Structure 1
Amino acid sequence: MKFEYQQFSCNVDVFHRDLDVIVRFYDGSREPAEENIVNLVIADPGYGYLMLKYKGDAALLSGFLNESVFASDEMVEAAIDYIERLSPHSQSVYMPYHVSRFKPTSYVEYNGEY
């Protein structure tokens, strides 16, 4: 699946649990192929995640998106619209949201080499 906004496009993984939805935004060209996952591998965390979680007659939408990719409020709104379109139930519920934009500052990884 793809997320598109103006001239930008990226891959998405969509995960469902009951009515809840999680969307991961990422660059599919940076994903290692299965046969490459043996020793040295970089597990790219992608551009961020959004989660739509239903609570009774309401829903909460939250997540975090990389500010270097999702640089404008309009682009974040487009990502919110994207996840809402994936869930037909979102049209009829009260749904407050909070999406944080982040700048990566450091990381912890294990890549098979050490």
Structure 2
Amino acid sequence: MRFEYQNFSCDVDVFRRDLDIVVRFYDGSREPAEEEIVNLVIADPGYGYLMLKFKGDAALLSGFLDESVFASDEMVEAAIDFIEHLSPYSQSVYMPYHVARFRQTSYVEYNGEY
């Protein structure tokens, strides 16, 4: 599945549990193939995640998106629309949301080499 907004597109993974949905936005070309996971591997965290969690007659949408990719409010709104359209239940519920844009400053990594 792919997310598309204007001239940008990326891969998405959709994870479901009951009615709840988590979407991971990422570049599939940067994902190591199974046979590549032997010694040195880079596990790319992607561009962010959104979660749609249903609570009774309402739903909460939250997550975080990389601001170097999701640079405009309009692009974040497009990602919100994307996850909302994955569930027929989201069309008729009250759904407040909070999506944080993050800027990567550092990371912790183990890649098999050290």
TM-score under structure 2 length normalisation: 0.99
Give secondary structure in 2 for the equivalent of 1:86: coil
Residue 41 (str. 1) matches residue 41 (str. 2): yes
Q: What residue ranges of structure 2 are gaps of 5+ in the alignment?
A: none
Q: What residue ranges of structure 1 are gaps of 5+ in the alignment?
A: none
Distance 1:39 1:60 in 2: 40
Query: Which residue number in structure 2 is paired with residue 65 of structure 1?
Result: 65
Give secondary structure in 1 for the equivalent of 2:85: helix
Residue 29 (str. 1) matches residue 16 (str. 2): no
Distance 2:111 2:55 in 1: 38
Distance 1:56 1:39 in 2: 46
Question: CA-atom RMSD, angstroms?
Answer: 0.3
TM-score under structure 1 length normalisation: 0.99
Query: Which residue number in structure 2 is paired with residue 17 of structure 1?
Result: 17
Instruction: Report the identity percentage.
Output: 87
Distance 1:103 1:25 in 2: 15
Distance 2:54 2:107 in 1: 31
Matched length: 114
Deviation at 1:81, TM superposition (A): 0.1
Deviation at 1:29, TM superposition (A): 0.4
Give secondary structure in 2 for the equivalent of 1:53: strand
Distance 1:97 1:87 in 2: 16
List per-residue Cα deviations over 1:43-86 (Å, max 9, x = no partner).
Answer: 00000000000011100000000000000000000000000000
Distance 1:84 1:38 in 2: 38
